[in-house]
Structure 1
Amino acid sequence: MKKVLLILLGIIVILAAVVLIKTYTYPFKKNNLGAGEGWKPVKNDSAVMRLSGGIKVPTVSTGSLGEFNYAPFDQFKTYLKTSYPLVYQNTENLEVNQYGLVFRLKGSNPALEPILFLSHMDVVPPGDADIKNNEENIFRPDDKPAEPVAKVAEDWDFAPFSGAVANGRIYGRGAIDMKGMLFSLMESMNSMIKNKQIPQRDIYLAFGFDEEVGGQKGAIQIAEYFKKKGLKFDAVYDEGGLIMRKGNVAGIDTDVAVVGCAEKGFLSAKIKVKGLGGHSSMPPMESAIGKAAVIMQRLEDDQMKPVITPLIKEFFNNIGGEMPFTTRMALANQWLLKPVLISQLTKNNTTNALVRTTTALTMMKGSDGTNVLSPEVEFVVNFRLLPGNSVKDVRDHIAKATEGFDVEVEEIDNTREASAISPTNTKAFKMIEAGVREIHPGAIVTPYLTMAGTDAGKYEIVSKNVYRFMPIKINSAEQQSIHSTNEYLSIENYLKMIHYFEFVMKNYDK
């Protein structure tokens, strides 16, 4: 017995030694972080006010495309023309499907594949705030943009379409998502033209108008236009990742720039469950709502299998060297500790979404009366697909969860597969790293998985190098304002974003 215990102890000691050696020798990326704040913004009130004026135009996309109010989009197009005459005069520019905008700044070497920068002009509704109450703030072709007004919608410090400039910030719906990026791209190209800087390769800008409702009429048709023209892009840059301020990524004591090299897929299913209806005084042993509850419990209890994909492995390799010892140990010894690592990752909402196709029960409808049993109950479940899982996998998963029940399953919204994964060993990705070092030299730059949907995936038909990143540094509270109340973009972030895009445009081939 003593001999067995000694053998076991020896095995434990050897395992511990191996774990420690692997932890200290694991090739986590060495991030050569710079010091200081990087490029310092130069005051540019005119650029700030151009963005402010653009926010005043309530380009809201909601519902199906046929329900759009296109008048603000016409106003927005006019506003861009009056704000950036140099860009319109010195580029090839056109409209795709009337409201999608494309700009081409010619380079000196047509043999080089062009690069493409994306944004979108549409915004989500402002919540309870009334768009009509902001009509006096809307830009009209015969006006100058109105000054920010004091009218305040409920739960907003400033009216959502006021474009108010205060406290070192630009307030309003779309300030971050995505008019800040759209105007920074126009400012960057305007500066290139003004300073007579001719790039080696063509630079394209493409702005959709229905990204918030799926991009069917905007980005999809712009991408198809590029494909028909035979264009292939060396890089496509869109929204997706951000620079997370120090302290906002658990366990890391530095800023982290997360670059979306892929994005999750999407499937929302409306599941109708059938049963016996009638009066609640004589209920059946199993009601439709009870059956629906069983299915929903199955969906939440038996979710799709978590897995550390190659992209997320690279993400952890990049940031792991800055993480606490116990985390580094788990990452470096997945041959032994992977079950423990995955168990910990799935306990946190954010990291759980990195390693699995998520399941979210979002809507439910049954009887309209307190004493009425509905013969049919419906609910909606939303899945965000991890790269490596397919739409078919999710459909099979739903079929298993509903097995034994009389159901109808209908896919709603825009079902899509997870995107392809763009490589990080490209000039296109290295330019993101260089651009971040220019404005925030102390930030770690790492590939990441974008959780939400963007227009970027629609351009995979014209490029293998598609990256999702907006170069603004924000904290969790600021990130929460996107699609919520009090959305704002700091003036510092806006000016640094302009400089970042101009840096990438100027230096792509240097």
Structure 2
Amino acid sequence: MKKFLLAILGILIILVAVLLIKTYIYPFKKNTSGTGEGWKPVKNDSAVSRLSGGIKIPTVSTGSLGEFDYAPFDQFKEYLKKTYPLVYQHTENVEVNKYGLVFRLKGSNPVLEPILFLSHMDVVPPGDADIKNNDQNVFRPDDKPLEPVAKVAEDWEYAPFSGAVANGRIYGRGAIDMKGMLFSLMESMNNLIKNKQVPQRDIYLAFGFDEEVGGKNGAIQIADYFKKKGLRFDAVYDEGGLIMRKGNVAGVGADVAVVGCAEKGFLSAKIKVKGLGGHSSMPPMESAIGKAAVIMQRLEDHQMKPEITPLIKEFFTNIGGAMPFTTRLALANQWLLKPVLISQLTKNNTTNALVRTTTALTMMKGSDGTNVLSPEVEFVVNFRLLPGNTVKDVRDHIAEATKGFDVEVEEIDNTREASAISPSNTKSFKLIEAAVKEIHPGAIVSPYLTMAGTDAGKYEIVSKNVYRFMPIKINSAEQQSIHSTNEYISIENYLKMIHYFEYMMINYDK
């Protein structure tokens, strides 16, 4: 017995030694980030004013796909022409499907594949909040007062389309998503032209106008336009990841710039469940709403299998060196601790979304009366597909969850597969890292999985290197303002974003 216990102890000692050795030799990326402040913004009231003016134009996309008021989009196009005459004069520029905008700045070497920067001019509605009076003044960057804002949507500090400049910020719907990026790209290209800096390869800008409702008439048409012209891009850059401030990525003691090298797929299903209707005084043993509840419980209790994909493994390898030892231990020893690691990841909403196709019950409709049993109940479930899972996998998953019930399943919105995964060992990715270090030397830069949908995936037909990243440093509260109230971008972030894109355009081939 003593020998047996000694043998067990010996095995445990060896196991612990193996775990420790593997942890210490695991190739976690060393953060070679600098400690300086990086490039410091120079006051530029004119650039701030141009973005402010663009925010004031309510280019809202809503309702049915592509069916919305285009008058503001006409106004926005004219505003860009008036505001950036140099860009219009010194580039080839075309309109695709009337409202999609494409600009081409010629490079000195036509043999090189061009690069493409994306944005979109449409924004989501500011919300249906009541309007109230507001006596606050809005200030220009030079602190000269503008006219008082007479009406401000409830819960907005400044009116959603005021373009207010105050507190070192530019307020309004679209300040981050995506007019801030659109105007920073126009500013960057304008600076290249003004300073007579000629890039080696052609630089394209492409701006869609219906990204928020799927991009069917905008990005899809623009990408098809490029394909028909026989264009291939060395890289495509769009929105997606951000620079998360230190402390906003749990367990990481540094700023983290997450670059979307892929994005999740999308499937929303409306499931109609049939049963017996009638008066609530004589209910059946199982109502339609009860049956729907069973199906919904199945969907939440038996979700699709979690998995640490190669992309997410690379993400953890990049940031793991800045994480606590116990986390590094689990990451370095997945051969033994993978079930424990996945269990911990799936307990957190954010990390759960990194490792599985998520299931979200979003809408439900039954009868309109408190004493009426509806013969049909419907609910909507939204899936965000992990790369590696397919739309067919999700359809099979729904079929399993609804087995034994009389249902109709209808896919709504824009069903799409998860995107391809763009490599991180390319010059086009390494330039992102260099440009981030230029403005935020202390940031860890890592490939990542973009959770939300973007226009980027539409351009896979013209490039294998598609990256989703907006170079602004924000905290969780600021991130929550996107598509919500009080959306704003700090002037510092905006000016640094201009410099970031200018850096990329100038240095791509250096």
TM-score normalized by the length of structure 2: 0.96
> What SS class does the counterpart of residue 322 from structure 1 fall into?
coil
Looking at structure 2, the residues matched to 337 and 14 of structure 1 have their Cα atoms a distance apart, in angstroms, of: 16
Residue in structure 1 matched with residue 254 of structure 2 by the alignment: 254
Write the mapping of 1:157-196 to structure 2, written as runs, cut at 5 A: 157-196=157-196
Residue in structure 2 matched with residue 427 of structure 1 by the alignment: 427
> What SS class does the counterpart of residue 447 from structure 2 fall into?
strand
> What SS class does the counterpart of residue 492 from structure 1 fall into?
helix
Per-residue displacement from partner, 1:240-278 (whole Å, max 9, x unpaired)?
000001110101111000000000000000000000111
> What SS class does the counterpart of residue 176 from structure 1 fall into?
coil
> What SS class does the counterpart of residue 60 from structure 1 fall into?
coil
> What SS class does the counterpart of residue 175 from structure 1 fall into?
coil
Per-residue displacement from partner, 1:5-44 (whole Å, max 9, x unpaired)?
1111111111011001111111101120101110000010
Residue in structure 2 matched with residue 227 of structure 1 by the alignment: 227
2:461 counterpart letter in structure 1 = I
Looking at structure 2, the residues matched to 96 and 152 of structure 1 have their Cα atoms a distance apart, in angstroms, of: 35
Looking at structure 2, the residues matched to 210 and 39 of structure 1 have their Cα atoms a distance apart, in angstroms, of: 34
Residue in structure 2 matched with residue 391 of structure 1 by the alignment: 391
2:245 counterpart letter in structure 1 = R
**Alignment partner of 1:303 is 2:303:** yes
Looking at structure 2, the residues matched to 225 and 340 of structure 1 have their Cα atoms a distance apart, in angstroms, of: 48
Change (3 A) 1:370 1:129: closer
Gaps of 5+ in 2: 135-145
Tell me if structure 2 keeps the 8 A contact 1:149–1:164. no
Per-residue displacement from partner, 1:204-246 (whole Å, max 9, x unpaired)?
0000000000000000000000000000000000000000011
Tell me if structure 1 keeps the 8 A contact 2:132–2:154. no
Looking at structure 2, the residues matched to 416 and 9 of structure 1 have their Cα atoms a distance apart, in angstroms, of: 53
Looking at structure 2, the residues matched to 147 and 67 of structure 1 have their Cα atoms a distance apart, in angstroms, of: 34
Tell me if structure 1 keeps the 8 A contact 2:363–2:381. yes
2:402 counterpart letter in structure 1 = T
Q: CA deviation at 1:151?
A: 3.2
Looking at structure 1, the residues matched to 132 and 197 of structure 2 have their Cα atoms a distance apart, in angstroms, of: 43
Residue in structure 2 matched with residue 137 of structure 1 by the alignment: none
Looking at structure 2, the residues matched to 215 and 132 of structure 1 have their Cα atoms a distance apart, in angstroms, of: 34
Looking at structure 1, the residues matched to 27 and 35 of structure 2 have their Cα atoms a distance apart, in angstroms, of: 24
Q: CA deviation at 1:149?
A: 3.0
> What SS class does the counterpart of residue 412 from structure 2 fall into?
strand
Query: Which deviates more from structure 2 when the two are superposed, residues 353-362 or residues 59-68?
Result: 59-68
Residue in structure 1 matched with residue 72 of structure 2 by the alignment: 72
Looking at structure 2, the residues matched to 130 and 175 of structure 1 have their Cα atoms a distance apart, in angstroms, of: 21
Change (3 A) 1:154 1:131: closer
**Alignment partner of 1:473 is 2:484:** no
Per-residue displacement from partner, 1:360-394 (whole Å, max 9, x unpaired)?
00000001111111000000000000000000000
**Alignment partner of 1:25 is 2:45:** no
Looking at structure 1, the residues matched to 496 and 436 of structure 2 have their Cα atoms a distance apart, in angstroms, of: 10
Per-residue displacement from partner, 1:416-448 (whole Å, max 9, x unpaired)?
000000000101001100100100000000000
Q: CA deviation at 1:65?
A: 3.6
Residue in structure 2 matched with residue 115 of structure 1 by the alignment: 115
TM-score normalized by the length of structure 1: 0.96
Residue in structure 1 matched with residue 487 of structure 2 by the alignment: 487
> What SS class does the counterpart of residue 152 from structure 2 fall into?
coil
> What SS class does the counterpart of residue 454 from structure 1 fall into?
coil
Q: CA deviation at 1:66?
A: 5.2
Write the mapping of 1:106-145 to structure 2, written as runs, cut at 5 A: 106-129=106-129
**Alignment partner of 1:350 is 2:358:** no
Residue in structure 2 matched with residue 373 of structure 1 by the alignment: 373
Residue in structure 2 matched with residue 199 of structure 1 by the alignment: 199
Q: CA deviation at 1:492?
A: 0.2
Looking at structure 2, the residues matched to 356 and 263 of structure 1 have their Cα atoms a distance apart, in angstroms, of: 13
Tell me if structure 2 keeps the 8 A contact 1:148–1:165. no
Aligned length: 499
2:427 counterpart letter in structure 1 = K
Residue in structure 2 matched with residue 3 of structure 1 by the alignment: 3
Q: CA deviation at 1:133?
A: 10
Over aligned residue pairs, what C-alpha RMSD do you find? 1.4
Residue in structure 1 matched with residue 283 of structure 2 by the alignment: 283
Tell me if structure 2 keeps the 8 A contact 1:170–1:490. yes
Looking at structure 2, the residues matched to 80 and 255 of structure 1 have their Cα atoms a distance apart, in angstroms, of: 34
**Alignment partner of 1:274 is 2:264:** no
Residue in structure 1 matched with residue 141 of structure 2 by the alignment: none
Q: CA deviation at 1:396?
A: 0.3
Tell me if structure 2 keeps the 8 A contact 1:232–1:462. yes
Residue in structure 1 matched with residue 216 of structure 2 by the alignment: 216
Per-residue displacement from partner, 1:273-316 (whole Å, max 9, x unpaired)?
00011111111111100000000000000000000000000000
> What SS class does the counterpart of residue 367 from structure 1 fall into?
coil
Looking at structure 2, the residues matched to 298 and 129 of structure 1 have their Cα atoms a distance apart, in angstroms, of: 36
Looking at structure 1, the residues matched to 198 and 67 of structure 2 have their Cα atoms a distance apart, in angstroms, of: 42
> What SS class does the counterpart of residue 369 from structure 1 fall into?
coil
Query: Which deviates more from structure 2 when the two are superposed, residues 65-74 or residues 195-204?
Result: 65-74
Tell me if structure 2 keeps the 8 A contact 1:148–1:162. no
Looking at structure 2, the residues matched to 163 and 62 of structure 1 have their Cα atoms a distance apart, in angstroms, of: 21
Per-residue displacement from partner, 1:169-220 (whole Å, max 9, x unpaired)?
0000000000000000000000000000000000000000000000000000
Q: CA deviation at 1:4?
A: 1.7
Change (3 A) 1:203 1:311: same
1:218 counterpart letter in structure 2 = G
Change (3 A) 1:180 1:133: farther
Residue in structure 2 matched with residue 156 of structure 1 by the alignment: 156
Q: CA deviation at 1:469?
A: 0.2
Tell me if structure 2 keeps the 8 A contact 1:58–1:131. no
Looking at structure 2, the residues matched to 95 and 157 of structure 1 have their Cα atoms a distance apart, in angstroms, of: 36
Per-residue displacement from partner, 1:139-181 (whole Å, max 9, x unpaired)?
xxxxxxx867353221000000000000000000000000000
Tell me if structure 2 keeps the 8 A contact 1:52–1:164. yes
Looking at structure 2, the residues matched to 436 and 348 of structure 1 have their Cα atoms a distance apart, in angstroms, of: 28
> What SS class does the counterpart of residue 242 from structure 2 fall into?
strand
Tell me if structure 2 keeps the 8 A contact 1:129–1:160. no
**Alignment partner of 1:337 is 2:337:** yes
1:356 counterpart letter in structure 2 = R
Q: CA deviation at 1:129?
A: 4.4
Percent of matched pairs sharing the same residue: 90
Tell me if structure 2 keeps the 8 A contact 1:258–1:445. yes
Looking at structure 2, the residues matched to 70 and 250 of structure 1 have their Cα atoms a distance apart, in angstroms, of: 43
> What SS class does the counterpart of residue 153 from structure 2 fall into?
coil
Tell me if structure 2 keeps the 8 A contact 1:312–1:449. yes
Change (3 A) 1:147 1:312: farther
Residue in structure 1 matched with residue 140 of structure 2 by the alignment: none
Per-residue displacement from partner, 1:98-118 (whole Å, max 9, x unpaired)?
000000000000000000000
Looking at structure 2, the residues matched to 416 and 29 of structure 1 have their Cα atoms a distance apart, in angstroms, of: 33
Looking at structure 2, the residues matched to 5 and 480 of structure 1 have their Cα atoms a distance apart, in angstroms, of: 55
Looking at structure 2, the residues matched to 33 and 92 of structure 1 have their Cα atoms a distance apart, in angstroms, of: 39
Query: Which deviates more from structure 2 when the two are superposed, residues 189-198 or residues 8-17?
Result: 8-17
